[in-house]
Structure 1
Amino acid sequence: MIRFENVGLRYGMGPEVLRDVSLHISPRSFQFLTGPSGAGKTSLLRLLFMTLKPTRGSITVFGKDIATISSREMPMLRRRIGVVFQDFRLLDHMTTYQNVALPLRVRGKEEATYRAEVEELLHWVGLGERMHVLPPVLSGGEKQRAAIARALIDQPEILLADEPTGNVDPPLARRLLRLFGELNRSGTAVVIATHDLTLMDQINARRMILDQGRLDVYD
């Protein structure tokens, strides 16, 4: 589904943030991405989501080299990827329900076809009583859960999550991890960036360790 070959990344004229990164994300796979702060995990996720292009090397997503993908093709490819970044990116003028339903609306689906599904997912992540409030009213943990629900609602082929349990308590973190596991078993490849070793110990999954811009992979 995704392949990196000797990828390097730098910002401007600065030093390389990522160096000679090679990896592949297979269908239905589950992997953790870990490493110290500043190692480049968020940059790697942005490359996976195609909001950055590498300085060197090649990245292939769904069989397409991103260096040659047209601007018209890019949104269609991104719709096949669910993403949860640390800044949440919720729209403050929309309710929690509307934020979570947004990917389905963008695809032109009628609300009657997805209302029950959105409400069920919101209840599952503990936001059943908060679905009609606006994001500024939500706590950090609630915003995190809303962002996760929005990423999951369209059953993406790949889910990328940057510290998805960083703002929730341990019981909810375990519950969210079970949700990621269920999504994976239904066919979605999952990539979770996390510092939480306890979280990683709960699932027997591949570990990708990023340190000083270099990636080691342990199956």
Structure 2
Amino acid sequence: MIRFENVGLRYGMGPEILRDISFQIPPSSFQFLSGPSGAGKTTLLRLLFMSLKPTRGLINVFGKDRSRITRQELPLMRRRIGIVFQDFRLLDHMTTYENVALPLRVRGREEASYRADVSELLKWVGLGERMHVLPPVLSGGEKQRAAIARALIEQPEILLADEPTGNVDPPLARRLLRLFIELNRLGTAVVIATHDLALMDQVDARRMILSGGRLDIYD
């Protein structure tokens, strides 16, 4: 689904942040992206989401060369990739339901066509009774699950999650991990960026370790 070949990235004339990165994301796969703080995990996720362009190397996304994807094509390609940011990016003036439904509203869909789907997804992530409250009322874990639901509402083929358990306690971290595992079983490829070794030990999945700008892969 996504393939990197000898990808490098630098900002301006500075040193390369990422060097000779090569890997593939197969369909329905599950992988962790780990490494020390500042190693470039978020930067690599941004390359996967196509919000950054590499300085060199090849990135192939859904069979298409990243360098040949036009600005007009990008939104359609990104709909196939869900992303959960570290800071959630929920809109405080919208309810949980409205935040999750926002990607569908932006596409111009009528609410009647998605109301049941949004409600069902919120129940699936444990927010069925919180769908009509505003984000400031939600706990950190509830905000995290709302952000995950928003990333899933368009049924992406790949889900990218940046430190999704970084601000929650261990029991909730395990609950979120089970959510990702179930999603993967339904066919979505999952990439979780995390520094939580205990979390990674709970799943038999590929580990991609960033360090010194390079990537090592352990299947």
Query: TM-score, structure 1 length as denominator?
Result: 0.94
Question: Secondary structure, in 3 states, of the residue corresponding to 1:128?
Answer: coil
How do residues 1-219 of structure 1 correspond to structure 2 at under 5 angstroms? Answer: 1-219=1-219
Query: How high is the sequence identity, in percent, across the aligned residues?
Result: 84
Q: Whole-Å Cα distance in 2 between the matches of residues 109 and 181 of structure 1?
A: 29
Over residues 79-134 of structure 1, what are the superposed CA-to-partner deviations in whole Å (9 max), with x where a residue is unaligned?
A: 00000011212223221110111122233433233323322332333333332222
Q: Whole-Å Cα distance in 2 between the matches of residues 37 and 121 of structure 1?
A: 32
Residue type at the aligned position of 2:66? I
Q: Whole-Å Cα distance in 2 between the matches of residues 215 and 76 of structure 1?
A: 29
Q: Whole-Å Cα distance in 1 between the matches of residues 130 and 14 of structure 2?
A: 44
Q: Whole-Å Cα distance in 2 between the matches of residues 40 and 20 of structure 1?
A: 13
Q: Are the aligned partners of 2:122 and 2:149 in contact in 1 as well (CA < 8 Å)? A: yes
Residue type at the aligned position of 2:15? P
- Runs of 4+ more than 6 Å apart: none
Question: Secondary structure, in 3 states, of the residue corresponding to 1:143?
Answer: helix
Q: Whole-Å Cα distance in 1 between the matches of residues 21 and 95 of structure 2?
A: 39
Q: Whole-Å Cα distance in 2 between the matches of residues 120 and 175 of structure 1?
A: 18
Q: Whole-Å Cα distance in 2 between the matches of residues 206 and 212 of structure 1?
A: 20
Q: Whole-Å Cα distance in 1 between the matches of residues 9 and 139 of structure 2?
A: 34
Q: Whole-Å Cα distance in 1 between the matches of residues 183 and 116 of structure 2?
A: 18
Q: Whole-Å Cα distance in 2 between the matches of residues 75 and 195 of structure 1?
A: 30
Q: Whole-Å Cα distance in 2 between the matches of residues 167 and 130 of structure 1?
A: 19
Question: Secondary structure, in 3 states, of the residue corresponding to 2:31?
Answer: strand
Query: TM-score, structure 2 length as denominator?
Result: 0.94
Residue correspondences, number: 219
Question: Secondary structure, in 3 states, of the residue corresponding to 1:190?
Answer: strand
Q: Whole-Å Cα distance in 1 between the matches of residues 152 and 205 of structure 2?
A: 20
Point out where structure 1 has 5 or more consecutive residues left out of the alignment.
none
Q: Whole-Å Cα distance in 1 between the matches of residues 196 and 108 of structure 2?
A: 38
Q: Are the aligned partners of 2:141 and 2:172 in contact in 1 as well (CA < 8 Å)? A: no
Over residues 44-89 of structure 1, what are the superposed CA-to-partner deviations in whole Å (9 max), with x where a residue is unaligned?
A: 0000000000011111101111111111000000000000011212
Residue type at the aligned position of 1:168? V
